[in-house]
């Protein structure tokens, strides 16, 4: 059976979020898409903390992460995820309008799985997002779901 964990979209621009959600919807993926608007909320979702406490999503099949975010940048979120043993294998695609080489280099140094520059053209943007959705939602084999670590009877 196919793993139907959610796709996490971390995007602060309402316009880009709306377009991304519409493009992913067109793919007819069965994966739910969860949208958060800043880096702090992204980490809360991934760690099942704050308003996501107790969530049992098992971790997203992929995180589509904007680079320039409020509270914590995409690079800071990426760094935190890669440092956390429970989250470190989470697939992350930097989805950004930045064409700065330093952003590209920093993203790969921190362990991003892919770096995609958002096309300016509407049709190209839609096609790029649909391609990402199809690859990460259907084609790619994701790492196993994140499972909570339960204390052993020896810890009691």
pLDDT band at 1 (very low <50, low <70, confident <90, very high): very low
Q: Is residue 144 part of a domain?
A: no
pTM (2 decimals)? 0.86
Whichever domain contains 91, its CATH number is 3.40.50.2300
Please give the pLDDT value at position 57. 75
Give CA–CA dist 10/112, Å, rounded.
14
Identify the residue with better confidence: 57 or 68: 68
Q: Is residue 151 part of a domain?
A: no
Give CA–CA dist 6/138, Å, rounded.
12
Q: Is residue 25 part of a domain?
A: yes
Output the six-digit token pair for 9. Answer: 């979209």
Residue 44, domain extent:
7-139
Most confident of 53-57, 103-107, 148-152: 103-107
Q: Is residue 100 part of a domain?
A: yes
Count of the separate structural domains present in the chain: 1
User: CA-based Rg of the chain, rounded to a whole angstrom?
Assistant: 16
Give CA–CA dist 19/35, Å, rounded.
12
């Amino acid at each position: 059976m196919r793993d139907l964990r959610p796709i996490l979209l971390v995007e602060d621009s309402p316009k880009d979020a709306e377009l991304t959600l519409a493009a992913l919807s067109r793919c007819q993926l069965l994966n739910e898409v969860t949208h958060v608007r800043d880096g702090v909320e992204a980490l809360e979702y991934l760690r099942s903390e704050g308003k996501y406490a107790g969530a049992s999503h098992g971790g997203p099949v992929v995180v589509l992460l904007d680079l320039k975010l409020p509270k914590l940048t995409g690079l800071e979120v990426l760094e935190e995820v890669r440092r956390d043993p429970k989250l470190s294998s989470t697939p992350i695609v930097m989805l950004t309008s930045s064409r700065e080489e330093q952003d590209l280099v920093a993203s790969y140094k921190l362990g991003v799985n892919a770096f995609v520059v958002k096309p300016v053209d509407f049709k190209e943007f839609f096609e790029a997002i649909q391609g990402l959705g199809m690859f990460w939602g259907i084609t790619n084999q994701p790492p196993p779901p994140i499972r909570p670590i339960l204390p052993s009877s020896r810890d009691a």
